[in-house]
Each structure stands twice: as C-alpha cells, then as structure tokens.
Amino acid sequence: MKIKEIIREAVAEFALGKEFAVEHPADEKMGDYSTNIAMVLAKELGRNPRELAIDLVNKLSDNKNLSKMVEKDNIQVAGPGFINLWIKDEVLISQLNEALKTGDKLGNSDFMKGKKVMVEYSSPNIAKRFSVGHLRSTIIGQAIFNLYKHSGGEVTNDNHLGDWGTQFGMIIAAIEEDANFNWDSADINKLEEIYVDFNKKIEENPELRTKAKDAFLRLEKGDESARNIWQKSVDISMKEFDDIYKKLNVEFEHVYGESAFESLMPGVIAEAKEKNISSVGEEGALIVRFEDENGKEEMPPAMLVKSDGSTTYFTRDLATIKMRLTMPELKCDEYIYEVGGEQRLHLKQVFATARKLWPEETKRVEFVHVAHGLLSLPEGKMSTRKGNTIKLEDLLGWAEKKSFNITSDKAGFEMKDDYWLTNKNQNLWPHDVVNMSETMSIGAVKYNELKRSPIMDYVFVKEEAISMDGNSAPYLQYVYVRTRGVLNKLGENLDKVIAGKKEFENDDERILARWLLLRFVEGEVVESAARNFAPQTVCAYLFETAQKFNGFYERNKVVGVENQSLRLALTALTGEVIKKGLKILGIETVEKM
Ligand code: ARG
C-alpha cells in the first residue's frame, strides 16, 4: 500500500465523513505529508483548530499502521492547525528498495482503474500539408494518451482525419479542370498548391465555386470520377502522414476519418429533426440553436445541413459521437479531444448537441477539449499561403544537425568527405553517434512542445525549439546517461546491501529520496499530469529531479564511501525515474553518450 493511502486511512478514522487533503509539501520543513483535517473539523465542531489538531496528533500516534511508519515525535502541529508528518528513514529506505524492483510499472497511478478513455489527436487534413497545429496536437495528444495508459484504465486513441467536406469539392474540381494534372508526380505539396490556386481562381471566376459545390455533392453521392480523385488524394496524403508518425513514434489504434461517418449522417439528421433539436434556418438550411430556458441564446447556432443539402464538419462530429457511443470497442467513460483552441466553440456546440440528442447515453460520459494555443513566428502569424510556416522536416533537420555536432564532438569523431575521422572515445562508434543524435533531436523537438502549458500561444524561436541544454530533453537524456555511468562502475547487487540500512546519512540523501519516492514512485506526478491534461507537469518534475540529482552528486561522493550502496540506489532510482518520465512524454533515452 502506498504511504499516502495509509496516512489517509488513519486520518479518515477521525474525519466524520468530511473531505480533507493529504499533501506532500515540496519543502521538507513542512513534513513529508501534511493534512488540513483539523481545520476542516474545527469549522464543523466550532472548536479552535490548533487545539483540535493537538488532540488529533495524540489519536493519530496510536494508530497501528501509521505508527509503523511515523515516529510519535514526528507528527506535529504547524501554523493555523496543519498536521505535518515525517516518515521514518527506514520506511523510505525500504520503499527505495522496492521501487528499484518495480520495473515497467514505476510511477504509474491507478486513478482511472475500471474506466475507459479515448484520446483523439493529430487529425490532419487530407490534401494539405501536416501543419504546425497538427504537430502540436500529435505530440501533446500522444503524451496525454501515454499518461492515461499509465493511470490504470483502459485507453485507446483515434486519429480523426479530415478526409471529407466541401474543400474536397475544390480539389476534385481543380483536378478535373486541369488537363495537365499528372498523378505520377503528385505529392501533398502539389495537392495543397492546386487547392490554393483554385481558391484564387474562384475570386475571378465565381462559376468555379458552383463546380466545386457540385463536385462535393457528386462525391457524397458516390460518383466514380470524384471518388477516384478523392481516394488518390487520401493515399498520397497518408503516405506523408505515416512518415511523420513513424519519425515521431506515434501509432493509432483507430483511424476513423470524417468520411467513415458518411452512412451515419442521415440517421443523425433524422434524429435531430424527430427530437426537435434542429430547426429550419435561412434558405432551408438545417440548424441547431442553443438557448436557455428563457430563450436566451447561449451560443451561436450550428449548421447541421447546408441549404444545398450538403453535410458539415459539425454533422460529422455528431455522427462520430454516435458511433463512439454505440460501437463496443469505442465506448468510453471519457473522450479527450486534443484540438486547437480556435475550435473551442465548434466542440462546445458538438458536445452540447450530443447531450441533447442522446441524453441517456451521454449521462455518464465526459467530453473534454484539451486546446492548444497558436504558434507564430517572430515576424508574425504563420500562413501556408504566404509560405511563412515551419515544416517538420526542417525542424528535425536543424535539430539533428545540432545534436550531431554535439555528439560527434563528444565522441571525438569528425565527418570529412563522407568518412569518419579519429575516435578519441573508444566507447562510442559512428552508429552510436547517429542513434544518439536522432534520439536527442526528436526529444528536443517534442520536449519543446511539452514543457509549456498546451493552451499557451507562443512565438516560435528556432534556437529555443532545438535547445539542448537547460530545461530540455537532451539535458535530461544526458543526466540519465550520467546515472548509468555511475552504476556501470560497480554493477553490484543493490537490493541486499541497502536492505539493512536504517537511516540516511545526510539531508541531501533524504531530500532526493523523498522527492523521488513520494512524488513520482507513489504515482503523484503521473496522476496530477493526467488529471489536468498537463504533460508540462512531468517536464517540470523531471527537470527539477535532474537539478536535485546534480546537486546531490556534486556534494556527495558516491563510489568508495561507507554509504555507497544507498547512494548508488538513489542514483539508480534517479535514472529510472528520468527514463520512465521521458518515456511517458514519448521521448527515448540512450544508454551512453
Ligand atoms: N481535421 C481538423 C482540423 O485540422 C481537426 C479535427 C479535430 N477533431 C474533431 N473531432 N473535430 O482542423
């Protein structure tokens, strides 16, 4: 059982059923754990909180389970009535021992036990380049997916491809109009170009708009030429996207593009009419209004069917929910959408309409929009049309070049005319250098996204995006390697040696131990990051871990001292925690550097 749970249980005995908190304060002076129970009860019973706290301390120290872990003198009243507890060293040390044997489950939480979650992310659009927004969604969404995977529940993911809609009418019409169009040389850039060009032409020649509308209607009706062009565009785009996913090590269990919901849409539209959720708007369009009991508009209406009879992005999102609520493998307690903040209103409308349409089925279901902010360049907004945007290839290219220089320099290698020259470090081979620089560069790019709150807009600064020191993945990867280096010097069996240890020798040891054990090993970091959809919490924790370890390592000799085993154990656990934390963020580690 986790230490925190034992404390909760002991406190709950006196809580009269009231809610109370047990927290792990960052500052050791405020206890390894602290509870506000006395303040909660004082209010209830009309008593002085400090006096009540003193009573409770006496009662708590009689608790059998608790007294095994906490010395009587180490339960103390502080401030207005907090009760602070310090865990016995020997308990922390034996937990350290256990932690080193945990393996893959290290730091996992179990707060989602018995629940099923779907995370929907990435969701790029066919026939358009993978944008920076989609890149953000992919990286952040994957981290959230991983966080839930390590939270005790069942988790699945879905890539909601934008492969349907009126814009396909434009692509189809554009290709049909272009007698010189050649599929053999077509790639995603070409498709995007043709789309942008067609948009420009429409301004001069409004007739083309009708052609595009007609093309989309033909597509919806199953017209062969339209279908053919659509399918080819999908294939070309998927090839590009799959390359990106492979590079980023992202895999989807489900890839239901918008087109997958085509056959469900008529049913959803009929249901909306039948249940009086939709009404007829301008020119015969079908809309959904959002009004409170007094008829006051809560948000603008959403379009279910356009006046020309075509469906919308909104309709498809409803059909998606219908399918998710019906298909057993998609049925979940919680649906998390990692989508740009500019779609906040759209998703609010979708979720509200789904609840109106299917009140029973959605009663116990949660819909969450995890929004990411906008990325801009120092010179202003990004725009594909104007050509000022960042491409993933470029980003990874810059990062790789930089990490390659760093690693080959460290290894004493030099590339000259395609040959490797000199090797100062016999430990590393050229392929190690290549692996390392790849792991570092992808890590750097991902970490740069993950270290900030997703919702924040930020200005893209190249040097920062591929930063390899300070609060960055390569720095953490480096500290991990450092911990491995210390251990490799000895490679002794740690378990047995620290088993008999009763006390820490100094504060550095104890502070590092409680930081690793009570924050990470007990599952607190993963739980709070998952609950708050906040991968940045993991980044902040890992960076602080690395700093704490470096401080510990600088001030304390690890190898060849009396306390060697305990210090090695702390070093080993630091490494394991960094490795696991990075893994949850979707970032790999290397064993040497
Ligand atoms: N394909 C959309 C876009 O790029 C994002 C899809 C978001 N997910 C959703 N269920 N609407 O804008």
Which pLDDT score is estimated for 387?
67
- pLDDT band at residue 411 under the 50/70/90 scheme: confident
In this predicted structure, the answer to whether residue 179 has a pLDDT above a threshold of 90 is no
| DSSP sequence for 165-177 | SHHHHHHHHHHHH
The residue among 362, 349, 355, 351 whose CA lies nearest residue 275 is 355
Gap between the Cα atoms of 127 and 192, Å rounded: 6
Which pLDDT score is estimated for 495?
52
Q: pTM here?
A: 0.93
Q: Which segment of 227-231, 318-322, 418-422 scores lowest on mean pLDDT? A: 418-422
pLDDT of 258-290, one tens digit each? 999 999 999 999 999 999 999 999 899 999 999
Which pLDDT score is estimated for 89?
96
Chain centre to alpha carbon of residue 190: 32
pLDDT, mean of residues 532-545? 98
Ligand 1 pocket check for 123: Cβ under 6 Å: yes
In this predicted structure, the answer to whether residue 537 has a pLDDT above a threshold of 60 is yes
Which pLDDT score is estimated for 421?
66
In this predicted structure, the answer to whether residue 493 has a pLDDT above a threshold of 60 is no
Which pLDDT score is estimated for 378?
84
Is the Cβ–Cβ distance between 502 and 89 less than 8 Å?
Answer: yes
pLDDT, mean of residues 459-477? 91
The sheet with strand 334-340 has its strands ordered as 154-158, 116-120, 334-340, 366-372
Which residues lie across from 381 on neighbouring strands?
Answer: 376
Taking residue 409's Cβ as centre, other Cβ atoms within 10 Å add up to: 12
Both structure tokens of 337: 């959408």
Query: Which of the 8 DSSP states describes residue 129?
Result: P
pLDDT, mean of residues 345-361? 98
- pLDDT band at residue 498 under the 50/70/90 scheme: low
Which pLDDT score is estimated for 560?
86
Taking residue 109's Cβ as centre, other Cβ atoms within 10 Å add up to: 23
- Sort 361 into a burial class: Cβ within 10 Å, 0-12 / 13-18 / 19+: middle
- pLDDT band at residue 4 under the 50/70/90 scheme: very high
pLDDT, mean of residues 26-50? 94
SS3 content of the chain, % helix, strand, coil (to 5): 55, 10, 30
- The CA–CA distances, whole Å, from 349 to 136, 157, 318, 493 equal 23, 22, 10, 59
pLDDT, mean of residues 316-329? 97
- Sort 491 into a burial class: Cβ within 10 Å, 0-12 / 13-18 / 19+: exposed
The pick from 164, 166, 192, 343 for probing ligand 1's pocket by mutation, whose C-beta has the most ligand atoms within 8 angstroms, reads: 343
Is the Cβ–Cβ distance between 156 and 112 less than 8 Å?
Answer: no
Which residues lie across from 375 on neighbouring strands?
Answer: 458
- The CA–CA distances, whole Å, from 486 to 62, 137, 463, 572 equal 43, 38, 31, 9
Ligand 1 pocket check for 339: Cβ under 6 Å: yes
Gap between the Cα atoms of 119 and 194, Å rounded: 33
Q: Which segment of 154-163, 462-471, 509-518 scores lowest on mean pLDDT? A: 462-471
Q: Sign of the CA dihedral 436, 438, 439, 444? A: positive
Ligand 1 pocket check for 316: Cβ under 6 Å: no
The residue among 73, 76, 72 whose CA lies nearest residue 62 is 72
Q: What are phi and psi of 280, to 5 degrees?
A: -85, 130
Which pLDDT score is estimated for 494?
55
Is the Cβ–Cβ distance between 471 and 543 less than 8 Å?
Answer: yes
Gap between the Cα atoms of 101 and 185, Å rounded: 55
pLDDT of 58-81, one tens digit each? 999 999 999 999 999 999 999 999
In this predicted structure, the answer to whether residue 82 has a pLDDT above a threshold of 90 is yes
Residue pointed to by tokens 């018995």? 114
- The CA–CA distances, whole Å, from 73 to 39, 76, 82, 529 equal 21, 7, 15, 34
Ligand 1 pocket check for 167: Cβ under 6 Å: no
pLDDT, mean of residues 228-249? 96
N- to C-terminal Cα distance for the chain? Answer: 38
Q: How far is the CA of 336 from the centre of ligand 1 (A)?
A: 13
Ligand 1 pocket check for 317: Cβ under 6 Å: yes
pLDDT of 371-388, one tens digit each? 999 988 888 887 766 667
Gap between the Cα atoms of 298 and 289, Å rounded: 9
Gap between the Cα atoms of 70 and 307, Å rounded: 71
Ligand 1 pocket check for 337: Cβ under 6 Å: yes
Going by alpha carbons, the residue nearest to atom 11 of ligand 1 is 317
Which pLDDT score is estimated for 159?
98
Looking at the chain, the whole-number percentage of residues with pLDDT higher than 70 is 95
**Mean of all residue pLDDT scores within the chain:** 92
Q: How far is the CA of 97 from the centre of ligand 1 (A)?
A: 46
Ligand 1 pocket check for 125: Cβ under 6 Å: yes
pLDDT, mean of residues 140-163? 98
Which pLDDT score is estimated for 428?
74
Taking residue 500's Cβ as centre, other Cβ atoms within 10 Å add up to: 9
Ligand 1 pocket check for 335: Cβ under 6 Å: no
Is the Cβ–Cβ distance between 28 and 8 less than 8 Å?
Answer: no
pLDDT, mean of residues 407-416? 77
pLDDT, mean of residues 341-348? 97
Is the Cβ–Cβ distance between 50 and 80 less than 8 Å?
Answer: yes
In this predicted structure, the answer to whether residue 174 has a pLDDT above a threshold of 60 is yes
Ligand 1 pocket check for 324: Cβ under 6 Å: no
Q: How many CA atoms lie within 13 A of 588 on its CB side?
A: 15
Q: How far is the CA of 364 from the centre of ligand 1 (A)?
A: 24
- The CA–CA distances, whole Å, from 468 to 163, 188, 437, 465, 542 equal 37, 32, 11, 9, 15
pLDDT, mean of residues 564-588? 95
Which pLDDT score is estimated for 425?
64
Going by alpha carbons, the residue nearest to atom 4 of ligand 1 is 124
- pLDDT band at residue 488 under the 50/70/90 scheme: confident
| Comparison of pLDDT for 497 and 221, the residue scoring more | 221
Which pLDDT score is estimated for 210?
93
